[in-house]
Structure 1
Amino acid sequence: MEDTMIPEQFSALDEAITRIRNGRLSRRSFLERTLAIGLSSGAAVSLLEACGGNSNSSGGNGAATNLIWISEQDQSGTYQMLVDTFNKTIGQQKGLHVTYQSGPAKTDDLLTQYTNMLRARNASVDVLSIDIIYPAQFAASQWTVAISDTQWPAAERAKFLPGPIKGCTYQNQLWAAPLRTDLGLLYYRKDLLPNPPKTWDELNSLATATAPSKIKYGYVWQGAQYEGLVCDFVEVLYGYNGTILDPNDPSKVTINSPEARQALTRMVSWVGTISPEAVTTYQEDPARQVWQNGNAALMRNWPYAYALSSDPKQSQIVGKFDISAMPYGGSGTVGHSAIGGWNLAINAFSKKADACWEFIHYMLQDDAQKQLAIKGTFTPTLQSIYTDNDVLAKQPLFGKLGPILKNGLPRPVSPKYSDISDILQRYIHQALKKQISVDTALSSLETELKKALAS
């Protein structure tokens, strides 16, 4: 499927699948309907075959249980490849077929889509990819199905990174399977810079020295008003030893501090100097496009950008860049990446929970996790990937990620995270746009966050 589908389109797809299995829809009509709904021609034919429709039949034989999985946006093709492999192997053996949908570019849009669907108790999507910040919220809303110890025994879980497992746990139960983690990285042009910057001061100096004398921009990052801005902000903030909430008492707001003032002042100073004015509209992919077109000396982004920047078909900087840990500043002595990550959850309103688990479990196995690393440069949750010889031979990047992962820190941990994020996005973005001062932004953040936590 090439475009983002809405729940109504998924419902129409379910209806078409049911009708062809019951022999009430011709092959031609099925293909016409699924193409109109939004499937690509290849996905439509694949689904038709899975439903038992072929050139010699007008109906279906009901051979396959069709599951629909919607994920965060994947431009690498890795998820579709894994789905195709599942359908040809385990799917054929067990009568299952997964139809894959890549989600919208903005995580916030995907959350809105899920929220509207699940509040309506809609089962049009069976398997949901959810951001690491949402398993507790979805569980508390009874939107997802708990994964039992019988399905995924402790001995298997122990092979995975503990942080993502914790992120998927709420009230001592696991509510999603940690597919891949994520961490912010500093990308730098090794042909232009002698070494990667260790501090934010060094980053500023190096970016200033290279742009615009050697390259168009010094530093590109994610400055649009969306969830990615929170990740970028906490990385600078944590590097200055600042916090948003007290780590020992998350009911206390600590944002209005000298450390936060240093961090936000630094970010505001980048806009229109080492970073383009338009950086306040950038999400991940606009920053990546500027970077891989050879127009920036430094970039903050996730590991997925490594493979795309190394692809000679689309990148101007193959072999010219490397990655490093996030810098630090002020009294800080180490940089901290924001931990991201995506997890697979079962829609509580789906009637196909056991079939969903078959697919999710497949995505947690060695082969699938290795492909996430090799093809997508996604950072899998299976610990053995980071020392796997096949992975290291094809993606040396993974040998560098281990130490950076160790210093990664989460965004504020709170059941009110959605409210916290909205408030952070709004005031930080206003400061970046110079609509309000840094002091006003921090004072407003303190007031609004206290209200949100008290509500």
Structure 2
Amino acid sequence: MIFEQRELLDETIVKIRSGRIKRRTFLERALTAGLSSAAALSLLEACGGTSNSTAGNGNTTMIVWQSQHDPSDNFKQYAENFNKQNNGIHVVYKNGPADTGQLLTIFTNMLRARSHAIDVLSMDIIWPPEFGANGWTVPISESQLPQSERQKFLPGPLQGCTYNGKLWAVPFTTEPGLLYYRKDLLPTPPNSWDELAAMAKSVSPAKIKLGYVWQGAQYEGLVCNFVEVLYGYGGSVLDPNDPKKVTINSPQAVQALTEMVSWLDTISPKAVTTYKEDDGRLIWQNGNAAFMRNWPNAYALGNDPKNSQIVGKFDVHAMPYGGSSSTGHSCIGGWQLGINAFSPSPDACWKFIQYLSSEQVQKDNVINTSHFSPLQSIPDDPEVQAKMPFVTKVKASLQNARSRPASPAYPDITDALQLHIHQALIKASKPADALAALQSSLEAIVAK
């Protein structure tokens, strides 16, 4: 079956299960997709969970997985491999849109309608608290994932899936923010933010145009950059034990934001307040910066001889710390797997999530897609290390990585963070004043 036919069939299955098309329309589209009439009828029955499986294993349960955008088609292959196990469950795979905001809209519209058009949800790490608080996803129980199994995951990704004492999803992929540095210009990487600033000034502009490029535009990437500096100074946005308690207006936060403001027009260009990931990455790849903060995918791009001027000239390091702290913390990104609370087949969903969380699938995913695994064992795998040698360095960043504030009100929280932090960066507000205003805004948000 060609890709376009599979896409048509998958979309048709989703629509018949959600009641958006009738039986006759389903059969017509299935025939158009290349199925025989007998196969179309069998699939129609399976959509209702009443058909016999082709392997004769009894009734087949049909579930739909919508993932984050995957241009590699590897996720689709995982679903097909699972289906070949003939275990009475058939997974229909839906590739998500490239725009994460669009995927969130798809999910929230469906869940507000209490629909089960999609059973297994791939969620950005900042979504589980909101989905759990709204009763949109099923909490993962101790019997499903006991402590002995949870310990196999890195703590950061698991923390990001936890809200109000419950685990609302299982980590699927993970990625930490990384500090990139030019090893041909600097013999050792910095451990503190003060060291980074001193090193950047020692080589820029004498040996290289810019000292440090990062993401300072008013968008979600700014929040990631800010919390990395904030956590490195020992500060926090919300009390980790009480998401209703705002802690942003602290001496540590003032130090962190003052540090970031000090970079402007010294080690970082003023234009960094407009930079997103690719803006700084292109400057970096063209050999014009000594340091860069970015995600792991920039490693492969920086070593691409067709598009990079710095192949073999750079390395990565854990995020620095500041003040009285001695440990830096990356902001953790990545995707999680949750079960639609309105799905009629939560047990089948869990079996599929267990499969995607297995060491073999996780290992394949790292090697084939460059997504990092939330499992502690994967970076130590010899085959993974041979094919992705910098994975051992990323592991240290993952061990200490932290998520953005866990709250069902995160969409409003991030808007407030972006606004007030950016105001300080463009010097429309002093750091202390920006944080005081941010404290008031966040208190009003979490009190709702």
1:393 and 2:386 aligned: yes
Q: CA deviation at 1:444?
A: 0.6
- Hey, what's the Cα distance between the residues in 2 that align with 1:17 and 1:395? 46
| Alignment correspondent of 2:122 | 129
1:99 and 2:100 aligned: no
Taking a change above 3 Å as real, the CA distance of residues 119 and 454 of structure 1, as seen in their structure-2 partners, is same
Q: TM-score scaled by structure 1?
A: 0.79
1:305 and 2:309 aligned: no
Structure 1 residue runs without a partner (length 5+): 3-8, 31-47
Counterpart pick for 2:374 among 378, 381, 385: 381
Taking a change above 3 Å as real, the CA distance of residues 68 and 207 of structure 1, as seen in their structure-2 partners, is farther
Secondary structure of the equivalent of 2:187? coil
Letter aligned with residue 228 of structure 2:
E
- Hey, what's the Cα distance between the residues in 1 that align with 2:13 and 2:434? 46
Residues 174 and 333 in structure 2, CA contact (< 8 A), matched pair in contact too: yes
- Hey, what's the Cα distance between the residues in 2 that align with 1:149 and 1:286? 44
Q: CA deviation at 1:426?
A: 1.3
Taking a change above 3 Å as real, the CA distance of residues 212 and 59 of structure 1, as seen in their structure-2 partners, is farther
Q: CA deviation at 1:277?
A: 3.9
Q: CA deviation at 1:414?
A: 4.2
Taking a change above 3 Å as real, the CA distance of residues 217 and 382 of structure 1, as seen in their structure-2 partners, is same
Counterpart pick for 1:117 among 102, 110, 113: 110
| Alignment correspondent of 2:56 | none
- Hey, what's the Cα distance between the residues in 2 that align with 1:156 and 1:193? 41
| Alignment correspondent of 1:334 | 327
Residues 11 and 124 in structure 1, CA contact (< 8 A), matched pair in contact too: no
| Alignment correspondent of 2:220 | 227
Secondary structure of the equivalent of 2:27? coil
Identity %: 53
| Alignment correspondent of 2:52 | none
Taking a change above 3 Å as real, the CA distance of residues 197 and 18 of structure 1, as seen in their structure-2 partners, is farther
Residues 154 and 399 in structure 2, CA contact (< 8 A), matched pair in contact too: no
- Hey, what's the Cα distance between the residues in 2 that align with 1:283 and 1:17? 41
Q: Deviations over 1:154-175 (max 9, x none)?
A: 5544432344334434455432
| Alignment correspondent of 2:259 | 266
| Alignment correspondent of 1:287 | 280
Q: CA deviation at 1:296?
A: 2.9
Residues 160 and 406 in structure 2, CA contact (< 8 A), matched pair in contact too: no
| Alignment correspondent of 2:355 | 362
1:425 and 2:414 aligned: no
Residues 268 and 431 in structure 1, CA contact (< 8 A), matched pair in contact too: yes
Q: TM-score scaled by structure 2?
A: 0.80
| Alignment correspondent of 1:346 | 339
Q: CA deviation at 1:67?
A: 5.0
Aligned-residue RMSD, C-alpha: 3.5
1:241 and 2:234 aligned: yes
Counterpart pick for 2:311 among 294, 309, 318: 318
| Alignment correspondent of 1:24 | 28
Taking a change above 3 Å as real, the CA distance of residues 454 and 192 of structure 1, as seen in their structure-2 partners, is same
- Hey, what's the Cα distance between the residues in 1 that align with 2:146 and 2:242? 32
| Alignment correspondent of 1:60 | 40
Taking a change above 3 Å as real, the CA distance of residues 208 and 110 of structure 1, as seen in their structure-2 partners, is farther
Q: CA deviation at 1:216?
A: 4.4
Secondary structure of the equivalent of 2:40? coil
- Hey, what's the Cα distance between the residues in 2 that align with 1:97 and 1:244? 39
Taking a change above 3 Å as real, the CA distance of residues 11 and 221 of structure 1, as seen in their structure-2 partners, is farther
- Hey, what's the Cα distance between the residues in 2 that align with 1:88 and 1:251? 44
Q: CA deviation at 1:103?
A: 3.5
- Hey, what's the Cα distance between the residues in 2 that align with 1:244 and 1:271? 23
| Equivalent residue pairs, number | 421
Query: 179-188 or 112-121, which moves further after superposition?
Result: 112-121
Q: Deviations over 1:315-365 (max 9, x none)?
A: 443322211111122333332222333211122334454443343222111
